[in-house]
Chain A
């Protein structure tokens, strides 16, 4: 049973960068993509991008191109998401989630999710 544990809350100033970690335990780490999803206060869910911990290949959503960087350290089963050029509207809870795909039948889904990391951007 895989679990994802994220780093703690951060407070950053506008223009700064933040790096959030997501550590996997309990199951095979490299076989599944890790996705990043954020949720602004009182708002819905927004996909930011994903990476494959095995290959290191990553892709970000159009909105975050050039601002988000995803990396990993396979020796400690951890994936990182760094967001640069922070602005107030980046204040949100950031979640990592494993992208599962089952045995067959197609389709992918996010399960499980990390507990979330609150990033506050304020001057």
Chain B
């Protein structure tokens, strides 16, 4: 059971907008920044969004993060086949004094 809650799957057709939610509590998302990671099968995770909304250089602006209270969302607009991957949210938890992750969301392009 992950501390942060994500839907196990999400899907869309090419060009559509897909949104992935991640909910937590006051000790993690409510009081700390959230980061998102993208992972393709058999490879290491890669940083996709940090500080809730910021993108590292090289990450397309089709990926965008948002935050409201104890929940965050990752939106993928103009969905492409190469976006098929697992997506994880992560945050520091003040109560656990450690990093916590969501269970991951598998995005499928139909």
Contacts and interface: CB of A to CB of B under 8 A. Distances in A.
A6 to B, nearest CB: 9
Contact of B35 (A44, A47, A110): A110
Contacts, number: 65
Interface in B18-54: 32-33, 35, 37, 43-47, 50-51
Contacts of B101: 44-47
Interface stretch (A7-15, A71-79, A111-119): A111-119
Interface in B43-92: 43-47, 50-51, 56, 88, 90, 92
B46 A113 contact: yes
B107 to A, nearest CB: 15
Interface in A44-90: 44-47, 59, 61-62
B33 A45 contact: no
A23 to B, nearest CB: 15
Contacts of A110: 35, 37, 45, 47, 90
B47 A105 contact: no
Place the interface of chain A in its size category. 20 to 34
Nearest to B2: A44
Given A44-B2, A107-B32, A114 B44 contact: yes
B92 to A, nearest CB: 7
Interface of A: 35, 37, 44-47, 59, 61-62, 95, 97, 102, 105-116
Which 9 residue pairs of A and B lie closest in terms of their CB atoms, listed nearest first? A107-B33, A47-B99, A111-B47, A109-B50, A113-B44, A109-B35, A45-B101, A44-B104, A107-B51
Given A59-B97, A113-B46, A115-B44, 11 more contacts: A37-B99, A44-B2, A61-B96, A107-B33, A107-B35, A110-B35, A110-B37, A111-B46, A111-B56, A112-B46, A115-B43
